[in-house]
Amino acid sequence: MAAVRATNPAASWTEAGRAAAPRAGSSVDLVTRFGLVATVALLFAVSGGMLWLVGYNYDGLIGNPATKIHPSTYVLVLAFVWRSCTFGNPVGYTIHVADRRPASALLAVISIFLLIIVIVRQRPGMAGMIDTFVTPALLVMMLSENDERTFARLQTVVHAVMTANAVLALFEFATKTLIFPYRLDGEVFVSDLRSTALQGHPLANATITSIYVLALLSGSRSLSMPMRLGLVGLQFAALVAFGGRSAMVTTIVLGGIYLLVSGVAYLRRGRISLPGAALAVMLVSLLPVVFAMLFSYGFFDALLERFVSDSGSANARVEMFELFKHLELRDLIVGPDIDLLESMRRINGLEQGIENPIIRLILYQGAFFTLLMLLGFTLFMHEVARRCHPGIWLPMLGWLILLNTSESLASKTTLMTKFVAIALVLYRPARAGLGQRVQARRN
């Protein structure tokens, strides 16, 4: 047996990693905990517009390549390096977290492999591979250590930043003044007065706010029901300020169905709380007053304007399929010439981009590249869902709908990292349930 170990380094590293592995639910060190909390805080609170003010051109096309990666990614990598070094066996720690979250490790490996291909072929999307795919995979692997104090602090950070984001959005909506406007190489889109708040682009804001609203409805069990309902109202008001039509429709439909089904199930159980019933009656009676105030401030005018004028978005989703008529089979498999594709895109009136991630990936990177990413993404989402309590289906469904309404994962974005942070933090299973699963796995 010893001879086998001597001739099999991989087995030795695996055994060393398992020997050094902490028990489930064990506590991480203070520096690692601070790194994870700082990562999530920067992720949700620092936008490209904010970074531009300190000379960090994150959203733009020009400038230092190092600035094309979000600061939260750098902090997360440093936390990972620190944690692996404190183990005394960096390779063993990497194997340990990869063994606990294999789909996340696979997504990271696929993304790094495809990043190398993108660099060699000199195609667009190099920084996007890191922020879009590697960062969420690394965050999920690090959170596999199940440190209770870390998760408690992360819950506080997510709720606090999302609340501040909504308040700032409503302030910008009321004053018509953007505090941290979205910039592309320093240029502000002066014709777009939709709120940008703390997270930058209005549509990115709308997407993550919609996911957060759905998470408040079926998750966030650490908050009281009145607190959750208050936050839902605040966040939905912010959705109008962000102007995301798809996000608003998705939130209303999925949230309405969930509330209806939950309400019927609650009534069928025959247990009605008198304080809860009194609160519901009071809120219903106040609705006409709230609607009257919103109408007087022009709130519904802005809402209707977003559905009447879509700036060519609907037409773009039709025209993007016309591009396939000009491509040969080889171009579809490995990706066409970039200059040719850019010319065809402008000719077909798609200056704002191709508003579907799968279509965009096929056009810019090829079908082979896209299939690999879809495989890694599907397994990754399944793994994340398995680590959450059952209510995760609601924001997961909303997420899958909304990411197909824009370029989303086909370009550089932090949306997937934000989604997995919300999912793992706000849908964390009860401690008892976690212990039962660990015991079952050991048996």
Q: What is the SS3 string spanning the chain?
A: CHHHHHHCHHHHHHHHHHHHCCCCCCCCCHHHHHHHHHHHHHHHHCCHHHHHCCCCCCCCCCCCHHHHCCHHHHHHHHHHHHHHHHCCCHHHHHHHHHHHCHHHHHHHHHHHHHHHHHHHHCCCCHHHHHHHHHHHHHHHHHHHHCCHHHHHHHHHHHHHHHHHHHHHHHHHHHHCCCCCCCEECCEECCCCCCCCCCCCCHHHHHHHHHHHHHHHHHCCCCCCHHHHHHHHHHHHHHHHHHCCHHHHHHHHHHHHHHHHHHHHHHHHCCCCCHHHHHHHHHHHHHHHHHHHHHHHCCHHHHHHHHHHCCCCHHHHHHHHHHHHHHCCHHHHHHCCCHHHHHHHHHHCCCCCCCCCHHHHHHHHHCHHHHHHHHHHHHHHHHHHHHCCCHHHHHHHHHHHHHHHHCCHHHCCCCHHHHHHHHHHHHCCCCHHHHHHHHHHHHC
Helix axes 202-218 and 225-242, enclosed angle (nearest 10): 160
pLDDT at 432: 41
Classify each residue of 273-296 as buried b or exposed e, where b means 16 or more C-beta atoms within 10 Å of its C-beta: eeeeeeeeeeeeeeeeeeeeeeee
Helix axes 338-347 and 357-365, enclosed angle (nearest 10): 140
CA–CA dist 322, 302 (Å, integer): 33
What's the CA angle centered on 387, arms 225 and 369, to 5 degrees? 120
Count of the separate structural domains present in the chain: 1
pLDDT at 32: 94
pLDDT at 111: 92
Asked, for residue 273, whether it belongs to a domain, the answer is yes
CA–CA dist 336, 361 (Å, integer): 11
What tokens does 363 get?
């056009």
Asked, for residue 205, whether it belongs to a domain, the answer is yes
Sign of CA dihedral 56, 59, 65, 67: positive
CA-nearest of 74, 239, 273 to 170 is: 239
CA–CA dist 338, 353 (Å, integer): 14
Specify the pairing of strand 183-184 against strand 187-188. antiparallel
43 near 420, Cβ under 8 Å? no
Helix axes 102-121 and 367-386, enclosed angle (nearest 10): 160
CA–CA dist 232, 55 (Å, integer): 35
Asked, for residue 2, whether it belongs to a domain, the answer is no
Round to the nearest angstrom and report the end-to-end CA distance of the chain: 25
In order of 101, 315, 329, the CA distances from 363 in angstroms are: 31, 18, 12
Asked, for residue 4, whether it belongs to a domain, the answer is no
Residues of the chain short of pLDDT 50, as ranges, are 1-7, 9-14, 16-25, 432-443
pLDDT at 381: 96
Asked, for residue 210, whether it belongs to a domain, the answer is yes
C-alpha 93, offset from chain centre = 26
pLDDT at 331: 78
178 near 195, Cβ under 8 Å? yes
Q: Which residue has the tokens 């050991």?
A: 442
Q: Which residue has the tokens 């682009």?
A: 201
Asked, for residue 173, whether it belongs to a domain, the answer is yes
pLDDT at 334: 82
Strand pairing partners for 188?
A: 183
Half-sphere exposure of residue 260: CA atoms within 13 angstroms, side-chain side: 6
CA-nearest of 152, 18, 140 to 76 is: 140
Task: Determine the structural domain holding residue 188 and report its residue range.
Answer: 11-442
429 near 166, Cβ under 8 Å? no
pLDDT at 306: 53
Asked, for residue 307, whether it belongs to a domain, the answer is yes
211 near 229, Cβ under 8 Å? no
Asked, for residue 6, whether it belongs to a domain, the answer is no
CA–CA dist 424, 39 (Å, integer): 15
pLDDT at 99: 94
CA–CA dist 406, 418 (Å, integer): 16
pTM score > 0.75 for this model?
Answer: yes
